[in-house]
Amino acid sequence: MNFQSSFDYFLKIIIVGDSSVGKTNFIFRFIDGTFNKIYQPTIGIDYKSIIKVLPKSKQKVKIQFWDTAGQERYKSLNKIYFQRVQGIILMYDITNKESFDNLDSWTRLIFENISSIPIVLIGNKLDLEEEERIIRTEDGKSFADDNGFLFFETSALNGKNVDNAIYSLCERIISSLERTSSFNVNTSIPFNDILEEKTIKEIKEKKPCC
């Protein structure tokens, strides 16, 4: 199999935000349509890949999602994974004020490592909006507008807006890269899968013990 000919673009996307906002279930909903109701926090870092055809541009892309732990002690690990990333998903929980308040610190962490990159801000757990919503839609949109982010509210539980959010981010990534460089499939593959697995293993071996 010719690795480079199986898709048009390889996009590495990192997803960040506080613990328990739904990052892992968001990825699983997009990749295989599943949702795990039992909360299992991500330890350190994990990644999953899928090949999709973007509905708008019809580009065939391999998307590699890097799922980060939201716990404070893992933020130093997250910095490593901003290298060679093409897009970022920044997530909060619309029923959790602290996760929204912490967007400022996550945004600072991002901008300390990357000066300009397509970012989508996602307010997750939209399925709980009628009874448990705390963060208003307009507050999320205002934060996104102030920072130049795309904005969506989603539900990893029922899938609402999950695909739209990711496809919109991918389209913006491709548009941005094509404007600024001769970006193509040969330059859009920062790592191969073997190197990615080796890197993950090394980081997990260095993660804090407690």
**Domain boundaries defined on the chain:** 3-189
Distance CA 173, CA 175 (A): 5
Distance CA 49, CA 28 (A): 10
Which pLDDT band holds residue 181 (cuts at 50, 70, 90)?
Answer: low
Question: Which range (26-35, 43-52, 54-63, 177-186) has the least confidence?
Answer: 177-186
Contact of 64 with 10, CB cutoff 8 Å = yes
Would you say the pTM of this structure is higher than 0.85?
no
Q: Which pLDDT score is estimated for 113?
A: 85
Q: Which pLDDT score is estimated for 199?
A: 45
Strongest mean pLDDT among 34-38, 46-50, 77-81, 146-150 = 146-150
The closest of 1, 31, 18, 11 to 156, measured between CA atoms, is: 31
Mean pLDDT (the chain) is 81
Pick the residue with more confidence: 181 or 171? 171
Q: Which CATH superfamily is domain 3-189 in?
A: P-loop containing nucleotide triphosphate hydrolases (3.40.50.300)
Torsion angle of C-alpha atoms 136, 162, 85, 16, degrees rounded to 10: 40
153-to-3, 52, 77, 95 alpha-carbon distances in Å = 35, 22, 27, 12
